[in-house]
């Protein structure tokens, strides 16, 4: 059989895209598609309402499919054969796409070009009639085994089948909503939180806090591997590794035990806020879910947030753990997140943590600490890992523990 060369037709939802917003959305989406397909020698272009990827040989379909399935903003995409809007030619091309075992089919046409000499219904009838005559297949409008799609736009036409059409991840293209800084713990929740915000168009930078040498360095390695998985969805990632041991030692020495975990959290937010400024990020993102652990009561979340001016987004706040786990599995971070680690916050964990702290109580509990100096000292020891897109550049090695903390 001759080798086919396809054009991928990329569709996006246009709901809520208005005016100038829309041109911007399309431009960003185009860049994200180009970025995702880098190195594959394909031609990416834009026509009204669609993005086209031309020159896709059959041998590359799987790879292109895999990469496009991680481009936020795409509602779906299809691998089509492209031709002039000539119904006879399109019927011939359709024959190449119909698998042998299929017995019934229908044709469904969409017409962007209103100047064509035929209506959508006429196109469906004509192409359907030709396919039936050549193959003996039966038309079944209600419950066909295969649907042949025709699309017409500008002066071109495309034919594909439902077996060559795939869902995209939806959402908005990364970059359309600016940047955020996600606090990535190495656990299950925070990568899902980052992914959710990415899906709404925000590119994420990451920060992980470790307690080395009081705990091992496994959490940092896990955070890096999670960031690598997430990097595929946004064309790379920047991950800061920050030692928290200095801050924790001070809290341990000078603050009431029951507030320890909450105070660690406040310092994490403060340090993350500074890194967010450095990265041009407009919000912090955490994986908190309401009521999941003692630090995640309404009161405690509020009292922790008060340590910073920054907007703190908690996309998982109303999700059940089982839902988060399912999503983590789909994204591909779950297997990494369940590897063993020593959590930085389990280090000297209070026996009876406060469950309803107020901002005033936490401010009092910090009265003996030199907060700005502790934040500066931690920032000075922050290490930045630049994780490339998996389609570009070589993977960076796993981080190793710092020599001095
Ligand atoms: P996760 O699965 O993301 O670790 P969790 O349910 O275990 O979440 P906590 O450990 O209470 O919850 O942490 C709540 C959130 O605080 C995390 O989702 C993360 O955003 C942030 N966080 C906690 N520990 C760290 C850390 N060591 N480094 C960076 N962020 C952290
Ligand atoms: Mg955790």
Lookup: tokens for 324: 């988060």
With respect to residue 348, please indicate whether it lies within any of the assigned structural domains: yes
Angle subtended at Cα 166 by Cα 163 and Cα 167, rounded to the nearest 5 degrees: 145
| Start-to-end CA span in the chain (Å) | 64
pLDDT value of residue 403: 86
Give the count of domains, the chain. Answer: 2
Q: How far is the CA of 80 from the centre of ligand 2 (A)?
A: 45
The pLDDT tens digits of the residues spanning 296-324 come to 999 999 999 999 999 999 999 999 999 99
- Among 167, 190, 211, the domain-final residue is 167
- Ligand 1 atom at shortest distance from the alpha carbon of 292: 6
With respect to residue 156, please indicate whether it lies within any of the assigned structural domains: yes
Cα separation, 345 vs 209, in Å, equals 9
Q: What average pLDDT does the chain have?
A: 95
Lookup: tokens for 46: 């834009």
Cα separation, 17 vs 384, in Å, equals 36
Kindly tell me if the per-residue pLDDT of 363 is higher than 60: yes
pLDDT value of residue 48: 87
Kindly tell me if the per-residue pLDDT of 405 is higher than 90: no
With respect to residue 217, please indicate whether it lies within any of the assigned structural domains: yes
Lookup: tokens for 16: 């809520």
Indicate the burial class of 272 (C-beta count within 10 angstroms; 0-12, 13-18, 19 or more).
buried
With respect to residue 173, please indicate whether it lies within any of the assigned structural domains: no
pLDDT value of residue 46: 94
Domain range for residue 93?
5-167
pLDDT value of residue 150: 98
> Do 214 and 275 sit in the same domain of this protein?
yes
Lookup: tokens for 153: 């736009």
Instruction: State if residue 220 touches ligand 1 by the CB under 6 angstroms criterion.
Output: no
The pLDDT tens digits of the residues spanning 49-106 come to 899 999 999 999 999 999 999 999 999 999 999 999 999 999 999 999 999 999 999 9
**Shortest-distance ligand to the CA of residue 378:** 1
> Do 142 and 227 sit in the same domain of this protein?
no
> Do 238 and 129 sit in the same domain of this protein?
no
Q: List the beta strands (DSSP E) in 12-163.
A: 43-47, 50-57, 76-83, 104-111, 138-139, 146-153, 156-161
Name the pLDDT band for 361 (thresholds 50, 70, 90).
Answer: very high
DSSP 40-58: S--EEEEETTEEEEEEEEG
- Ligand 1 atom at shortest distance from the alpha carbon of 344: 27
> Do 205 and 251 sit in the same domain of this protein?
yes
The pLDDT tens digits of the residues spanning 164-173 come to 999 999 999 9
The pLDDT tens digits of the residues spanning 152-204 come to 999 999 999 999 999 999 999 999 999 999 999 999 999 999 999 999 999 99
Angle subtended at Cα 388 by Cα 386 and Cα 391, rounded to the nearest 5 degrees: 175
> Do 310 and 332 sit in the same domain of this protein?
yes
> Do 198 and 82 sit in the same domain of this protein?
no
DSSP 282-331: S-EE----TTSSGGGSHHHHHHHHTT-SS-EE-TTTT--HHHHHHHHHHH
> Do 19 and 158 sit in the same domain of this protein?
yes
Kindly tell me if the per-residue pLDDT of 295 is higher than 90: no
**Shortest-distance ligand to the CA of residue 265:** 1
pLDDT value of residue 273: 98
- Among 167, 199, 223, the domain-final residue is 167
Residues 69 and 79 sit within 8 Å (Cβ to Cβ) = no
With respect to residue 324, please indicate whether it lies within any of the assigned structural domains: yes
DSSP 3-state of 102? coil
pLDDT value of residue 337: 97
With respect to residue 172, please indicate whether it lies within any of the assigned structural domains: no
SS3 assignment for 181-205: EEECCCCCHHHHHHHHHHHECCEEE
With respect to residue 174, please indicate whether it lies within any of the assigned structural domains: no
pTM of the model: 0.95
Q: How far is the CA of 276 from the centre of ligand 2 (A)?
A: 21
- Among 167, 202, 225, the domain-final residue is 167
pLDDT value of residue 280: 98
In this structure, what is the dihedral angle of CA atoms 320, 325, 331, 336, given to the nearest 10 degrees? 140
Residues 127 and 90 sit within 8 Å (Cβ to Cβ) = yes
With respect to residue 216, please indicate whether it lies within any of the assigned structural domains: yes
> Do 93 and 242 sit in the same domain of this protein?
no
> Do 286 and 312 sit in the same domain of this protein?
yes
Cα separation, 37 vs 229, in Å, equals 17
Measured CA distances, 61 to 98, 149, 166 (Å): 17, 18, 12
> Do 146 and 268 sit in the same domain of this protein?
no
Indicate which CATH number applies to the domain containing 98: 3.30.2130.30
Kindly tell me if the per-residue pLDDT of 16 is higher than 80: no
Lookup: tokens for 79: 């691998």
> Do 278 and 353 sit in the same domain of this protein?
yes
DSSP 3-state of 352? coil
Q: What percent of the chain has pLDDT over 90?
A: 88
pLDDT value of residue 355: 94
Cα separation, 139 vs 87, in Å, equals 17
> Do 183 and 109 sit in the same domain of this protein?
no
Q: List the beta strands (DSSP E) in 104-255.
A: 104-111, 138-139, 146-153, 156-161, 165-167, 179-183, 203-210, 237-243
Report CA 9 to chain centroid distance, whole Å: 21
Name the pLDDT band for 14 (thresholds 50, 70, 90).
Answer: low
Indicate which CATH number applies to the domain containing 284: 3.40.50.620
290 vs 20: which has the higher pLDDT:
290
Query: For a substitution probing ligand 1, which of 182, 189, 209 has the most ligand atoms within 8 Å of its CB?
Result: 189
Query: For a substitution probing ligand 1, which of 184, 190, 378 has the most ligand atoms within 8 Å of its CB?
Result: 190
Instruction: State if residue 327 touches ligand 1 by the CB under 6 angstroms criterion.
Output: no
């Amino acid at each position: 059989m001759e080798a086919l060369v396809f054009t991928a037709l990329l569709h996006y939802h246009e709901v809520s895209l208005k005016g100038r917003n829309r041109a911007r959305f399309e431009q960003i989406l185009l860049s994200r598609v180009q970025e995702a397909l880098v190195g594959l020698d394909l031609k990416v272009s834009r026509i009204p309402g669609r993005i086209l990827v031309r020159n896709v040989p059959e041998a590359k379909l799987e790879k292109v499919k895999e990469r496009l399935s991680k481009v936020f903003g795409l509602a779906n995409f299809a691998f089509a054969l492209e031709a002039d809007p000539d119904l006879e030619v399109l019927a011939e091309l359709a024959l190449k796409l119909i698998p042998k075992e299929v017995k019934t089919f229908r044709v469904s046409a969409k017409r962007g070009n209103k100047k064509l000499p035929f209506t959508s219904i006429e196109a469906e009838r004509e192409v359907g009639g030709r396919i039936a005559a050549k193959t003996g297949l039966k038309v079944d409008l209600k419950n066909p085994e295969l649907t042949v799609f025709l699309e017409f736009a500008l002066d071109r036409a495309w034919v594909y089948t439902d077996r060559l059409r795939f869902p995209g991840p939806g959402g908005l293209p990364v970059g359309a909503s600016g940047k955020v800084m996600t606090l990535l713990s190495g656990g299950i929740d925070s990568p899902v939180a980052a992914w959710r915000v990415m899906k709404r168009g925000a590119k994420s930078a990451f920060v992980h806090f470790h307690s080395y040498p009081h705990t091992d360095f496994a959490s940092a390695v896990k955070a890096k591997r999670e960031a690598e998985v997430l990097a595929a969805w946004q064309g790379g990632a920047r991950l800061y590794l920050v030692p928290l041991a200095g801050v924790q030692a001070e809290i341990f020495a000078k603050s009431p035990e029951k507030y320890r975990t909450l105070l660690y959290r406040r310092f994490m937010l403060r340090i993350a806020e500074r890194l967010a400024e450095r990265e041009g990020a407009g919000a912090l993102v955490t994986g908190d879910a309401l009521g999941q652990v003692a630090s995640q009561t309404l009161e405690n979340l509020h009292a922790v947030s008060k340590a910073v001016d920054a907007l703190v987004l908690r996309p998982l706040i109303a999700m059940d753990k089982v839902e988060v786990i399912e999503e983590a599995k789909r994204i591909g971070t779950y297997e990494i997140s369940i590897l063993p680690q020593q959590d930085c916050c389990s280090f000297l964990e209070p026996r009876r943590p406060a469950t309803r702290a107020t901002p005033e109580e936490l401010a009092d509990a910090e009265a003996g600490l030199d907060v700005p100096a502790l934040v500066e000292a931690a920032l000075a020891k922050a290490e930045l890992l630049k994780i490339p897109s998996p389609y570009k550049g070589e993977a960076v090695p796993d981080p190793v523990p710092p020599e001095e903390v």
